[in-house]
Chains A and B, each alone.
Chain A
Amino acid sequence: MNNKPIIQTKHLCKIYKTDVVETIALSDVSFQINRGEFVAIMGPSGSGKSTLMHILGALDLPTSGEYLLDGEIVNKLKDEELADIRNKKIGFVFQAYNLLPRTTAMKNVMLPMRYAGVVYEERQEKARKFLELVGLGDRLEHTSNQLSGGQQQRVAIARALVMNPTILLADEPTGNIASVQAEEVMSLFQKLNEEGHTVVMITHEQDIAAHAKRIIHVKDGTIIGDDINHKQKKVIASKK
């Protein structure tokens, strides 16, 4: 396996300022993630793991420090370039799915390709392919509100994958769905990881984190543990 770092952070700091309080969300976070890894970032709420994830997803910028994604210094990029990074290099899966309301699964998955300027026919073809990959081949024209939580999250995963991103980031991907469906989502992540995708996932559930190959523990804005998960919980075999 290629061990070139795909994500590299150097002394990341994030400080939120309001008129009265200054909150340190991240202080001096440095780590790297290699291509092909499946990493879970764990920590209690308020530990700064979400902030870290947003910076990794180029949705937010660090106050200081450096973030390199695939060799590019993300925190130095302009607004337009950041939009391109988010579009092409990052596939983001949100806890709350964040699908466009009253819009079909197909259209939701086609959206990032629209922003990339992909022609319509190719968009349709790819969207169908990825929806079939996540097991929703029979739900193409269903709108978001006609799908269950687990199905919506799988549409969101198809959307995250459709641009063939460098990394797949998932922010509490199973936080809003039932545990059976959570297992399905995790098996999907494992399958994608087996196929060579780099997956970084946030969770506060030990059980979910157990599916990853490596677990980073975050507390009070710093990394307190970074271990290889020798007892990776495999669910692929149990998949029907």
Chain B
Amino acid sequence: MDLFELFIESLGTLTLNKTRTGLAILGIVIGIGSVIALVSLGQASQQAIESRIESLGSNLLTIQPGSIRQGGVVGAAGGRTSLSLDDAKAIASSPQITTIDKVSPEFSRRAQVTTGGSNTNTQIIGVTVVYSEVHKVNMSSGSFISQRDVDIMNKVAVVGPQVVSDLYGDGANPIGQNIRIEGQTLRIIGITEAKGGTGFQNQDDVIYVPLTTAQKQLFGVNYLGSIALEAKSAEVMSNAQNEVGYFLLNRHKLTDPTQADFSIFSQQDILNTVTSTTGTFTTLLAGIAAISLLVGGIGIMNIMLVTVTERTREIGLRKALGAKKKIITTQFLLESIILTFTGGIVGVGLGVFASYVISRLTSSPFVVSLSSILLAFMVSAGIGIVFGWYPAQKAAGLQPIEALRYE
């Protein structure tokens, strides 16, 4: 008896009980759909975060005060006082250091900002003119902090578009207006271009002020929050890390690298940490989805077992009429494969559609990996075959008369 005829017969049997067939398929649809949707959600957010970090520059090194373990989390930077503006100047001017192009000393702290009637709480970053080059800050209007502003401790500020809309409303042009930070009045001289983004640090929700102004006039400190370094190329990153490390150890009169009162990490280090974090997140999502896929599979097995039990007499009759064991097994296996494949195809469609909707709603990239589709589909096919094989085998192994007498 050929397979095609068995296939047609199985289809016929499945359409006899549409509700049950539909529910069995639904279990697989939801299982596969959620695996694909959740995995693509995880991958999309991972890509978004990675591309944002990469846009900051791939040859960026950051020196943080205080020592941290490799790969660990940066502590409260404001509490560490081991980096000074002189350190930054020394790195910039030292003939020993050949791999570093630009040095950007920075100090940042959150503060309350007020103007006229409104106020906001935002990140104040004390910068030098180099900052805009190292961190790729572009202006939408006005100008960035100049060397002169830093030299004369000018009370000026460059604001991000988020700050503008928080303080003045969308689309306002507040250049020339005054804002008050920590009791000081600063004049706005520029607005940065929107970088977009949510994530950890919204780069649109910041106020840049001259480094010296931030240190002396606003916060009364003489140390730095961090120093950003731009290496000459991505290839010399690890050299640069070593050069600057030993140079600073010398300057701080330390001999043992484990005693260092600062730490240097590259953009790549941050990227690795973030990637592994979002990777864990994606795995977690996939794990949750996989559970629903498994539950869907057990649903199919359950239905196949019920079907076999319910049709034991029919199986007995078929055997009495001369059906071989192989035919009975094939028939029931086909039924469960049809169930899981239908569920698989619909589930893939639903999952891809859901991913698309999510990516549109969250304006994140639309990523559907072929591997997650293949994996989900193979799992469902596997479920169909394994979970269908057992009841089918059970049915086909019965003596005809036992099956016929089954009540």
Chain A residues with a Cβ under 8 A of chain B: 54, 57, 59-60, 79-80, 83-84, 86-88, 92, 94, 98, 100-102, 111-112, 114-117, 159, 163
Residues of B near A86 (CB, < 8 A) are 319-322, 400
Chain B residues with a Cβ under 8 A of chain A: 1, 5, 16, 313-314, 317-325, 327, 399-401, 404
Take A98-B317, A100-B317, A102-B16 as given contacts and tell me if A116 and B401 are in contact as well, using a CB distance cutoff of 8 Å.
no
**Can you offer 22 A-B residue contacts whose CB atoms are under 8 A?**
A57-B320, A59-B399, A60-B399, A80-B324, A80-B325, A83-B323, A83-B325, A84-B322, A86-B320, A86-B321, A86-B322, A88-B322, A92-B320, A98-B317, A100-B314, A111-B321, A114-B1, A115-B1, A115-B321, A115-B324, A116-B322, A117-B1
- A163 to B322, alpha carbons, bound, how many Å? 11
Chain B: minimal CB distance from A198 (Å) = 18
Add 11 more A-B contacts to A98-B320, A114-B1 (CB < 8 A). A80-B324, A83-B319, A83-B322, A83-B324, A88-B322, A98-B313, A98-B404, A100-B317, A115-B327, A116-B322, A117-B1
Residues of B near A114 (CB, < 8 A) are 1, 5
Q: Report whether B401 and A112 are in contact in the complex, using a CB–CB cutoff of 8 Å.
A: no
Residues of B near A100 (CB, < 8 A) are 314, 317
Take A100-B314, A115-B327 as given contacts and tell me if A54 and B401 are in contact as well, using a CB distance cutoff of 8 Å.
yes
Residues of A near B401 (CB, < 8 A) are 54, 59-60
Residues of B near A88 (CB, < 8 A) are 322
- A83 to B320, alpha carbons, bound, how many Å? 7
Q: Is the interface of B mostly helix, strand, loop or mixed?
A: helix
Residues of B near A116 (CB, < 8 A) are 322
Residues of A near B317 (CB, < 8 A) are 98, 100
- CB closest chain-B residue, reference A89: B322
Q: B404 contacts which of A59, A79, A101, A112 (Cβ < 8 Å)?
A: A59
Chain A: minimal CB distance from B167 (Å) = 75
- CB closest chain-B residue, reference A159: B321
Residues of A near B1 (CB, < 8 A) are 114-115, 117
Closest 4 pairs between A and B when the two form their complex, measured CB to CB: A87-B322, A59-B401, A115-B322, A60-B401
- CB closest chain-A residue, reference B396: A79
Chain A: minimal CB distance from B58 (Å) = 68
- A116 to B322, alpha carbons, bound, how many Å? 8
- CB closest chain-B residue, reference A163: B322
- CB closest chain-A residue, reference B325: A79
Chain B: minimal CB distance from A152 (Å) = 13
Residues of A near B323 (CB, < 8 A) are 83, 87, 115
Chain B: minimal CB distance from A126 (Å) = 15
- CB closest chain-B residue, reference A54: B401
- CB closest chain-B residue, reference A80: B324
* Residue of A59, A80, A111 ringed by the most chain B CB atoms within 10 A: A59
- A84 to B5, alpha carbons, bound, how many Å? 20
Residues of A near B327 (CB, < 8 A) are 115
- A77 to B287, alpha carbons, bound, how many Å? 51
Q: Report whether B318 and A111 are in contact in the complex, using a CB–CB cutoff of 8 Å.
A: yes
